Every structure is written in C-alpha cells, then in structure tokens.
Structure 1
C-alpha cells in the first residue's frame, strides 16, 4: 500500500518538480539527458518511452502513437515544445527519431503479427498450400510426399493426416514461422528435426514449433520483447525480425530439451514453462539480444 501511495505521489507531483529543478541546473530537458546520457539500445529507448508516457504534454504523449511517416514532424514539435535548439544539441533530433521509430515500430509489429495470426490457413488458398508443401520439401528434401493428405506429415511433427488442423491456434503465423526457420537456417532446422525424431528424446517438431510461436506471440503482446528489439533493431522492427526471434526460440528450445533429457513427452508442458522462464529472465537483461548463434 505504501509503495502504491509513494508511486502516485512521485508520478503526480515530485517527478515534475524534480525534472524542473534538474532542467534549471543543467539547461537540458529530460529527453535530452536520456538521449545523450545512454548508448543506443534498450536502456535509452525504454527511458525515452517512459518519459514520453509520463509527460503531461499532449504533444509528447501523442508522439507514441504517430505513424512512421509523421515521426520527423513529431520530433520537430517536441523540440519546439521543449525549446531545444538544434545548434546547441545537434545530435538530439536523430537520436530521438530512432527511439520513436523503435517505440512506434513495436506497436506496428504487433499489429502485423496479429493480422498473420488471425489469418486462417485455407486449403482453398494456393499460396497457403504452396507454403505447406515447401515446408515439407525443405525439411525432407530426399523424401517425396505421397499425397497432400497423408500420414507422412507425422514425420515432421504434425498430429494428423492434414496439417491444416494444427494451425487453428496460431493461424498462418505458425506456418510462416516454421517455413522461415527452414528457409533461413536449413541446416539448423533439419538438425532440430533430427533431434525431434529421436526414439527416446523425440517430440513433435511442428506442434512444438507452433507452441513456440504462441510463446513468441505472448511475449510480444506483453511488451517483454521490447528490450530485445530495441537492442537488435536500430529502426522500426518488422515481421522478419519477429521471425528471426522465433528461430532463436526454436533452436534454443531444442538445445534445452536435449540437455535436460526429459523422461517422457508427457512432461512437455513442465519443460516448456521452464524454458519460458529462462527466456523471460534473459529479457530482463538491459543488453539482451536473442539472436540465433548455432553452436
């Protein structure tokens, strides 16, 4: 209770006067101090984001919802509101622009990911079917698929004779991630598949992959991936960056699973949560960058 009261008093009253006093002493506003006092990445962008969110100025708060094309105009408006002279702080404009690209880009990325998740896999769509068949070809290059509906799909970890039923939860996002991993890291994807088909330690490759898509999606939705994207993408993060994050999760989960040597696939949920906790802990590091680095 005392903590909540202190937080309210600080954000509502003390923070404003503290900022005012520091500005009088230094001649710079909070955003200037953030942009000059921290290196590019999660710490700078996160502090800039908090500063803008906490501002009582509508222009500053509005910058968080601006479109990519309007960001330069937003920076000019902020500099005018804060009376920041370009000749006195020539690097401020570019630094704040990058922060705003990352902040607003994260929101745009979630919208793009959500649209893909909501897109239902359809057997009537030639593009969807082509993606599915391409996934088979990349993972099983030396094995011909006997027919579109076949038990062979189980060889790459689908549950039934027709994979379309497994995409219900994550929609086309699940298939897109599986395909991206196989296209971008073909050797690593086939290595993970070989582990998934191990007689003792095996797991359902495609089903687990779709489960990891859900993990990536939930981390994105909660905002937990902000430090990763703010560190690894010095602009607005895009769908490709989300797919690369998925590749990291797919590869690292496999390493984790093989190292742990679970007694049974029935313990999957337990180990999945342990891996989830590991990832969330890594994301607390201000310098985090979850990039696939094959061993």
Structure 2
C-alpha cells in the first residue's frame, strides 16, 4: 500500500495597515515574504514527497521480503506434504503387494465335472481365484491330441477355439488374471517354479532338476506346443498357455500367451500367432 503525505502551510495571520508613505515598500516586502513562503512551502512539499517516496520503497522492500519469506514457508510446507504423500503411497503399495501373496496352506483343492462330456477336472482355489489344475481336454473343432493321445497333456487348441472351449461358469483367463496368479504365488520371477509339477520336466543344462515345487497344486505340465504346420515341439521342456488378451500391436494375428520352461524359474509373458496350438487352463467366472 502506498502512503502519500502532503505538507500544508498556513498563510493566515493579521497584518497591521502601514502608513501612506511606506505602503509601497510594505506591499513589496509583503509580496516578497509571500514569495519566500511559497518557495519554502514548495520545498517542504518537495522534501515531503522525497521522504514519502523513500518510505514507500522501504515499505515495498519490506513487503517483498515478507512475501518471499511467506512463499518459502508455503513451498517448504508443500514439499514436506508432497514427500509425506509419496512415502505414504509407497508404503500402501508395498503393503498391498505383500497382502496379495497367498499362503500355500490356504489353497482349497476340489473338482468339477464338465457336463458336456462327463470329464472330471481337479481345481485349486488360490486366493480369490479358482483354477483348473489340469489342462482342458474337451474335443472340438481346431483342437488336437499330441503323441500321448490327450491322456497326460490334454488337448492343444488354436486360439479361436480356446476362447469358447471352457465349460459353463469358466473362461479362458485374461493376461491380467494370469498376472494376479503370479503375484499370489510370490511374483513372476519365481512363478514357474511354484506352479510346475514335481515330475516330468527335463533336467537343466547343469544337471539339476527342471521340475517345480508345485506349492499350490497347480501342476503345470511340460506339454510343449503344436505349430501351425501340425508338428509338436518341445514336449517335456516347455509349455504354452493361451490367454484371452489380444496383442495390442498386431491383434489381428497375435495373442498374449504364458510360457514356462524347464531351465528357468520365472514365467514368461509372450505373444504368438493365434493359429498355433497351445494348452488351456480355465479359470472360474
């Protein structure tokens, strides 16, 4: 706020009327005195103006300093709140991730009967999800048996068939549902080890077992896969599960799938041509 001070002179006062002979000099003297007063008054006003200007500058500087100080306090307070929010968010995220890991002792084992053909499938409830613990073996168009005659590894499905192959109340899992499963068993980096069956897998290159621990009863088997030319590859070494999620960059041809191998503990998210033949694990609606 700017403050202006005005210096005011009081020209009031009584003048004794002079004699006739000195009136001229008195008039001149009075005029001169008035001129001096006017000059003095102007100087006072000018001086007062300078003081006011100087005072205003000081007030501006003081106000600016106060504003900067206040801004610094607000900024510091905001930074602290922001830092606190980030820390709180990270803590909640970490806590949420830990809470999604499932204790293997809580897994519920059950079974269902496919009313379409009377086949029975073992099931496991892992956290909030219930999965088939065996590969689907429902015969339909674009499904195939391997060298084992569909006895051990179930059938191999082209993707279009896989999307409608599961029995009523069950469906082909999305990529997100597979990732939920990986989190539940300890994370993608160890998911293959936790989900693989305890037998049937080829040994690693260093001679150690390629089998899994099967902690959750999921019993993933090394079924390999069927190429679109009709040949079967990598039986005993790998498996491929279809997901229902199309690959966003070439969805007309490719779909996300889950790969598990004998020589590593992690699960792999990949994408493949929908004309390949892969295994199917259904998840409950």
Say which one has the larger Rg: 2
TM-score range, shorter chain: under 0.3
More strand by share: 2
TM-score by length of 2: 0.25
Higher relative contact order (CA 8 A, sep 6+): 1
TM-score by length of 1: 0.24
